[in-house]
């Protein structure tokens, strides 16, 4: 599990500059049984496009790069 969390953090660090550029950020809350829980912060937290950012951008990247990730959940 610890290794999976580290892999998730690595992918998020690659994506973070794009989020920061738009005034947002992402925080890893938990990784459990292939489910990654993330909190979108700053401008991303209340942006109408945040679900699209989460599902189309972050989820796609995590599922492609971290073995065992099956789902992404947004935590508020």
**Residue-level pLDDT at 54:** 83
Closest CA to 58 of 48, 43, 47, 72: 72
Domain holding 6: CATH number?
3.30.300.130
CB 72 within 8 A of CB 62: yes
Distance between CA atoms of residues 49 and 13, nearest Å: 20
**Residue-level pLDDT at 1:** 62
Can you give the residue range of the structural domain that contains 46?
A: 2-74
**Residue-level pLDDT at 32:** 95
Q: Which residue has the tokens 């999976």?
A: 4
Report residue 64 as tokens.
Answer: 């492609």
Task: List the chain residues with pLDDT less than 50.
Answer: none
pTM of the full predicted structure? 0.89
The count of structural domains within the chain is 1
């Amino acid at each position: 599990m610890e290794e999976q969390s580290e892999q998730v953090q690595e992918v998020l660090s690659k994506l973070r500059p794009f989020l920061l550029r738009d005034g947002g950020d992402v925080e890893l809350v938990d990784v459990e049984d292939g489910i990654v829980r993330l909190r979108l912060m700053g401008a991303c937290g209340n942006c109408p496009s945040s679900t699209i950012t989460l599902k189309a951008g972050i989820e796609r990247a995590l599922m492609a790069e971290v073995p065992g990730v099956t789902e992404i959940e947004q935590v508020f």
